[in-house]
Amino acid sequence: MKRFVVIGLGNFGSSAALALHHLGHEVVALDTDPEKSQRLADRLAATAAGDGTDVHVLDRVGAAEADAGIVSTGHDVTASLLAALALRDCGVREIHVKVVSELHARILETLGVAESIFPEREAAHLLARRVSSREILNYVDLGAGFSAQEMVVPEDWIGRSLRDLELPRKHGVFVIAVRDYLTGETRPAPDADAPLKESDALLVAGRDDQLARLVGER
């Protein structure tokens, strides 16, 4: 179990806090709006109505013991930057910030923030990938032109094995895991000789252009 501190409890911050809680982690969340913090009071380890840009407030909620911090202050860029600085001053080494522009992200980069998050842009990219191909179930950008995608097993692959398909040699992509949607079972490092089923989905990774060609050929 890890400890996280979440600053800002709008839609993104609240969702992140609850998702971390459901994964079994300890979450401390705060917002300047007492109503927002109270709304999650019975669902998280601790909530507080307070200023996340104030080091003393963060000290009182135990931010210094947090493994990571998440900042989501909406369009208030100043509050976002100050909250990131306050977390850093408290000794939080891993800081993730929801950003609203490239300039916002560039400034945070100079502060040593671990990750700048563009939720709307990332959601839009995922939607574009999904609606452009019926084969793609999920998409994760790995950076530098690489990604991981979850795709349904094409009809002409059913009954064939990964060894028979030779995806690394023929397409330059690798199957990381196989998920059976009927049973809910996920098999990492799947058996290369097991025949693929209609209910299977493949988590494949590779260069974006290679994955695009693979899906485009279906």
Supply the DSSP symbol for 154. Answer: P
Residue given tokens 């609240």 in the structure block: 14
pTM, two decimals, is: 0.63
pLDDT in the model for residue 27: 94
pLDDT in the model for residue 210: 85
Q: Does 171 score more than 80 pLDDT?
A: yes
Q: Does 124 score more than 70 pLDDT?
A: no
Name which of 163, 165, 156, 162 is nearest 178 in CA terms: 162
Which one has a higher pLDDT value, 163 or 181? Answer: 163
Q: What is the mean pLDDT of the chain?
A: 86
Q: Mean per-residue pLDDT for 8-17?
A: 92
Q: Mean per-residue pLDDT for 190-213?
A: 88
pLDDT in the model for residue 199: 87
Contact criterion met (CB below 8 Å) for 40 and 9: yes
Contact criterion met (CB below 8 Å) for 8 and 52: yes
* pLDDT confidence tier of residue 96, bands split at 50, 70 and 90: very high
* pLDDT confidence tier of residue 202, bands split at 50, 70 and 90: confident
- What domains, with CATH codes, occur in the chain? 3-117 (3.40.50.720), 122-216 (3.30.70.1450)
Determine whether 78 is exposed, middle or buried from the number of CB atoms within 10 Å of its CB (0-12, 13-18, 19+).
Answer: exposed
Residues 6 or more apart from 96 whose CB is under 8 A from it?
A: 68, 69, 70, 71, 113, 114, 115, 117
pLDDT in tens, 125-142: 555 555 554 455 565 666
Which one has a higher pLDDT value, 135 or 205? Answer: 205
Percent pLDDT > 70 in the chain is: 88
Q: Does 144 score more than 80 pLDDT?
A: no
- For 77, 175, 209, 211, the CA distances from 201, given in Å and listed in that order, are 40, 10, 20, 15
pLDDT in the model for residue 139: 58
Q: Mean per-residue pLDDT for 17-25?
A: 90
Name which of 153, 151, 157, 142 is nearest 207 in CA terms: 142
- Packing angle of the helix pair 102-110, 77-89 (nearest 10 deg): 20
